[in-house]
Amino acid sequence: MKRFPPKSFLAVAALGLLVLNLSAQTASELSDAEKAKIIEETVALGREYMGGDSKLNAIESVRFEGVLVHAGGQSGTVESVMKKPGYYQFVSSIGGIRETSTLNPTSAWRKLENFQEPGAYSLSFYEVEELRHLEATIADSLGFLKTPKTRNGRIEFVGKGKVRGKSAVILNYVYSDRIWFRRYFDPETGRVMFMQSSKGMVFTYEDDLEVEGVRFPKKVLVTYVSQYGESTMEISYSKAEINSDIDLERFRVPVVGE
């Protein structure tokens, strides 16, 4: 799954990591009917790999626990919670700092706490553009490869070819003119191997974590570019829960004194 990026990761440049080779089949070589057929077959194969329509359609919430390792080697624990419609929270505890990034249907906020200063914290809010991208990110994650449910939302066939030495079918999930998620599918299994976002972040998925017959990525490598250059962080999930009891209070904006 994708993690909810903190503000320090949002000002990233587009990465040129995932490029089709010269022998790739591109969308311009096919008719609309041929492209639609490839999209339909690829999405169906991908959803079947993840667990199938009946299981995926029944998911209302997902909760993960795991470990995050930054490029410099610093590590800590993480918890990721997604719930329809439009709730998300990512909590990381690393180096004595707890960062809580949260999205609810009306706002998105970030709370930083220092374990050495109990009760003290800083709170900031995401700007409108960031909020829209985060809303699309969570809708995309909980859509499980379905067509985006936005005005002019669509799936586009980009092409077929070799990506990092692996055969791939490339589909672009478009939420708006400025928000999209490009997925690289294994043509044999339907497994999503990589994903590139319109924010320039590249996600590499390794291994599977299976729960109740549904497969999720077990390890996610997130590559991004900041003012310090290109970096990669690794998230490894050890536990996943589907449709667990999630208190919506956790998504509420904190008030002074909490």
Query: What's the whole-number average pLDDT of the chain?
Result: 88
The lowest-confidence range among 16-20, 183-187, 251-255 is 16-20
- 174 vs 118, residue with greater confidence: 174
Give pLDDT, residue 116.
Answer: 86
Give pLDDT, residue 13.
Answer: 31
Domain boundaries, the chain: 12-251
Give pLDDT, residue 24.
Answer: 63
Residue type (1 letter), 115: F
Query: Quick one: average pLDDT of 226-234?
Result: 78
CA dist 95 and 43 (Å) reads 40
Query: Quick one: average pLDDT of 105-109?
Result: 92
Query: Quick one: average pLDDT of 241-257?
Result: 90
Domain 12-251 has CATH 3.30.1580: no
Percent of the chain with pLDDT over 70: 88
Query: Quick one: average pLDDT of 34-47?
Result: 97
- 8 vs 140, residue with greater confidence: 140
**pLDDT tens-digit profile of 52-92?**
999 999 999 999 999 999 877 889 999 999 999 999 999 99
Q: Does 12 have pLDDT greater than 60?
A: no
The lowest-confidence range among 13-22, 80-89, 123-132, 234-243 is 13-22
**φ, ψ at 147 (rounded to 5°):** -60, 135
- 67 vs 15, residue with greater confidence: 67
Give pLDDT, residue 257.
Answer: 60
Give pLDDT, residue 226.
Answer: 67
**pLDDT tens-digit profile of 184-227?**
999 999 999 999 999 888 999 999 999 999 999 999 999 887 66
Asked if 246 and 61 count as a contact pair (C-beta separation under 8 A), the reply is yes
